Structure 1
Amino acid sequence: MKLLSIAVPCYNSQDYMEHCVESLLPGGDDVEILIVDDGSKDNTAAIADRLEASHPGIVRAIHQENAGHGGAVNTGLKHATGLFFKVVDSDDWVDASAYEKIMTFLRKAVSENRLPDLVLSNYVYEKQGVAHKKIMQYRKYFPTDTYFTWDEVKPLPPTTYILMHSVIYRTEVLRASHLDLPKKTFYVDSLFVFQPMPWAKSIYYIDVDFYRYFIGREDQSVNESVMISRLDQQYRVNYRMIDILLNSGLHFDSSTLCKNMCSYLNIITTVSSIMSIKSGTEEHLRWKKELWEYLKESNSSLYRKLRYRTLLGIFMNLPGKPGRKISVIAYNITQKIYGFN
């Protein structure tokens, strides 16, 4: 059994996937790198096979018909033999020194027979053309270099939430949560983090800048114009997150876990809403209205919490064209400060 399984979903990734995999190889024999070729139409499959041949026992090439990012992550999880599971997108990479610190901790956790359910670390926005790199870190909110529970975590602000880049889950936690990401759907990263959160009873935060999140390609899923063109998929994820939270059995004003999950849902709902507002089409504005109505009909308490007790909820529901203009201005200011998209 491996210590860490790392899934690398690849679709037409020939131009950058080798850099990603090379950054993961220093994990050595304790790591398996699962390159999931998701029906690529370029040389991705051949590169994956070559990397497997060059690094036997460490790199595995898995080929499948196109199932989207979520389907590729599902496949990686299905084939994983490691105690822990990480996803690294094929255009991203990891920092070598931070990687070694994380692997040292995982080895120690195994030797002491004290496996955390969730390991957290920082990620860096490697935004193209930007000299100053924004680091998303959690030292103000999580205890550092110690085991803790959700009750010992401070509520995260809307500008700081846990992305897939931040997490390494224990593999059995992901499977116990029945994680099954929707196929041929973008923006499932949020579900990967969100759904298993209640199953994570033991957490460990390592304050290192591990994951390097490349952002800036015009065809990236987080490019604003691309997000608007795929808004139906953003809403698909948003609805599922609502259902997950409502079926979690958590009380919306009690635990820190619930507060953080509510905050996470609020952020994703804000993204759905603002992209609808920026699009400005009648169809997308109707989707926004229907989403908030679904939340209200599903659970009025949660609706009131997100709609009236948070600045995001208030800003996203200002009435009329002037209100929508203010919403866009507020979003753009936040975007400029924190450097996302």
Structure 2
Amino acid sequence: MGNKVLSVVIPAYNMEKYIKQTLDSLICDGYMDKLEVLVIDDGSKDDTAAIAKTYEDRYPGTFRVISKENGGHGSALNKGIELATGKYYRPLDADDWVDTSALKAVIAEMEAHDADMVLTNFRKVYEKTQKTENVRISNVWNRKQIDEGKAVPKPGRKVLIYGQVYDFDKELFDYSKQYLFHFVSYRTQILKDNNIRFDEHVFYDDMEYDIFPLPYVKTVLPIDRYLYQYRLEREGQSVDQSSFARNNKHRRKIVEHITEYYVKNKALFSPNVYSYLREDILWKITRQYDIYLTLMKNNSETCNELMGFARTIQRIDGNIYNETCSRRIRLIMNSNGILFPLIASRSIQQLNWKYKLWKNPNPAAKAWTMESDKPMHRMITRRRILKALHLTWLNKDMRNISRFKNIHKGERCFITCPGPSMTIKDLELLKDEYTIGVNSITKAYAFTDWRPTYYALVDSYAFGKTLSEKEVPGNTFCQREAFFHYRVNPKTRNGRETHLLIDYSNHRPDWMAKHRIKYSDDMSVCAYDGFTVTNMAIQLAIYMGFSKIYIIGADCDYSQPKIHFIEVEDDKDKISGGWLPAANDLGIEGYKAMKKFAYKHSCEIYNVTRGGKLEVFYRDNLERVLRNK
């Protein structure tokens, strides 16, 4: 290796429209002697190479143009690995660019540290709308965030700081899980020594870039700079939906190749990395099936492609095949393709879109009824159709909520309710526990630095309105994620808010007459209103996989002068309204149904409330429970 710190490799094919912006962004005064820019002209028919040559003439020690026969994006990356002399290797697509000031800082950090992988933030830039979206490395913080108290690691994990080198497997990998093309630069010698090469004459080789070098990465350096500027909404981009269909054979080849690489090289991966990659590869295989079923023509050629892909995955690894082979795919395979036209029918797919939404809920309808928010219930119907057709990946909100499925499997949590018996001292006793705060527990934030792990709000009509008008003390609802009723629009926002659809079927008169109460197995579809926000939180906890749930501060006693341990603005109105005892009776019925629901999901619920009248769940003592963790 020479004295270059960073080699930027730019695969370029007919990019005369964009290449100047790309190359201009790489002119960084004071650092040109440490930077190597390799423009790999992949047989362009336009002036791409001629434009790049002018930069080579102006900066001969930095820019270099290599012209070759067309071999595709992977071929250009391979040529870059062969020729790169920099300490680190960073691909840059010819229609993207870098932030020049960030580039200078990154080169300085790369020169000062030694790591096998360097992670940098990146920015999505939407060409048509000119909007931008910053994408940060998660679970890593800068000094300002730490000083402001915003650095909140997972329980048992330390605060990870930008600008420090970490053990890839033990300290960062299972914590961030974001080793994608736009984040990553590799140590060049790793690519050379291990003969890392990517498929040629195909699109989507970036998926190989994400995986092939990982067995050899031992250390990683995160840098708090938005280096890569990723252009989106450009016509013909390989990430367009139409391109997925048009180039399905390219994607199929890549998915098969990375699956085979993953299976054959198991011994090279640490167990931690191998486990993570399995989840990622299963998703890529499932996505390929969905491309055949939803984006391509319903004909024999598509059917043969799907079946050929399925047989290849089965040959590579039978277990992976079984995990990704949905009921639809099995029906196609078992019928030797005869059922494919029916399963891939556009009519069946379009059933999902037949349910048009009203723009606004009916303000005249009584709260907590189906009629009070018909648009939301139509959205729930759409999601149920998506789930039945195994197309949940089409819905961004469903994908987002599904991230929380079983993430706390086998663990315990405390649901902190704002009943009169709750105290600030009790909340502070729970600092080292997983907790879910509900509704007006946020009123306590002004008196303690305790924050729940998660937060849940189902009352969109009363307390939800309060949150839309006032900031939450400390400007954060919780350590991780806040779950709100679909209609809640809080004033405080930190990018950790998830909205849930709430099904009000339990309030239907015919259901109530039969004492029929239902709860949700899949929060990505909806939660059911169970007459109390606590039941909403319990549904969340069960969905997350908690096996023991402790409720504290759920008094269920409205004979006292106070409803909440810290009063809420409309408490007096609720008391004078006289409807609280009846609402409490409904809540008790909801708890009884919840106890049965939890039992079916192998989950135990305990009540550690000090006093109160909730006797549905086994009572325990808070201090004793905390001692016996």
TM range (shorter): 0.7 to 0.9
Is 2:318 aligned against 1:300? yes
Aligned-residue offset at 1:215: 1.2
Percent of paired sites with the same residue: 25
Show the counterpart of 1:151: 170
User: Do the aligned partners of residues 58 and 185 (structure 1) sit closer, same or farther apart at CA in structure 2, a change above 3 Å counting?
Assistant: same
Contact 2:27-2:100 at 8 Å conserved across structures: no
Q: Which moved more, 1:179-188 or 1:269-278?
A: 269-278
Aligned-residue offset at 1:192: 1.4
Higher-RCO chain (CA-CA 8 Å, sequence separation at least 6) = 1
Q: Which moved more, 1:164-173 or 1:199-208?
A: 199-208
CA shift digits 1:151-180 (9 cap, x unpaired): 2235479xx743211111000111233222
User: Do the aligned partners of residues 205 and 165 (structure 1) sit closer, same or farther apart at CA in structure 2, a change above 3 Å counting?
Assistant: same
Give unpaired runs (5+ residues) of structure 2: 142-159, 332-342, 353-385, 401-629
Show the counterpart of 1:83: 87
* TM alignment of 1:92-241, pairs within 5 A: 92-109=96-113, 115-130=114-129, 132-140=131-139, 143-145=160-162, 146-148=164-166, 149-153=168-172, 155=174, 161-241=178-258
CA–CA separation in structure 2 for the residues paired with 1:316 and 1:25: 53
Contact 1:150-1:257 at 8 Å conserved across structures: yes
CA–CA separation in structure 1 for the residues paired with 2:109 and 2:315: 45
Going by fraction, where is helix more abundant, 1 or 2? 1
* TM alignment of 1:231-310, pairs within 5 A: 231-250=248-267, 255-277=271-293, 278-281=295-298, 282-304=300-322, 306-307=323-324
Show the counterpart of 1:331: 393
Q: TM-score scaled by structure 1?
A: 0.85
Q: Which moved more, 1:187-196 or 1:268-277?
A: 268-277
CA–CA separation in structure 2 for the residues paired with 1:183 and 1:210: 27
- Secondary structure at 1:163's aligned position in 2? coil
CA–CA separation in structure 1 for the residues paired with 2:317 and 2:208: 20
Aligned-residue offset at 1:241: 0.3
Aligned-residue offset at 1:298: 2.5
Aligned-residue offset at 1:141: 7.1
User: Do the aligned partners of residues 215 and 174 (structure 1) sit closer, same or farther apart at CA in structure 2, a change above 3 Å counting?
Assistant: same
Aligned-residue offset at 1:15: 0.8
Aligned-residue offset at 1:121: 1.4
Contact 1:128-1:215 at 8 Å conserved across structures: yes
Aligned-residue offset at 1:297: 3.4
Aligned-residue offset at 1:290: 3.4
CA shift digits 1:83-125 (9 cap, x unpaired): 110100011011233222211211112xxxxx21111112222
CA shift digits 1:285-336 (9 cap, x unpaired): 44334333433332233445x43xxxxx769859635589735752332299
Count of residue correspondences: 324
Q: TM-score scaled by structure 2?
A: 0.48
Show the counterpart of 2:459: none
CA shift digits 1:121-150 (9 cap, x unpaired): 122221223454333322227943222222
Aligned-residue offset at 1:250: 4.2
CA–CA separation in structure 1 for the residues paired with 2:330 and 2:174: 26
CA–CA separation in structure 2 for the residues paired with 1:34 and 1:140: 33
- Secondary structure at 1:222's aligned position in 2? coil
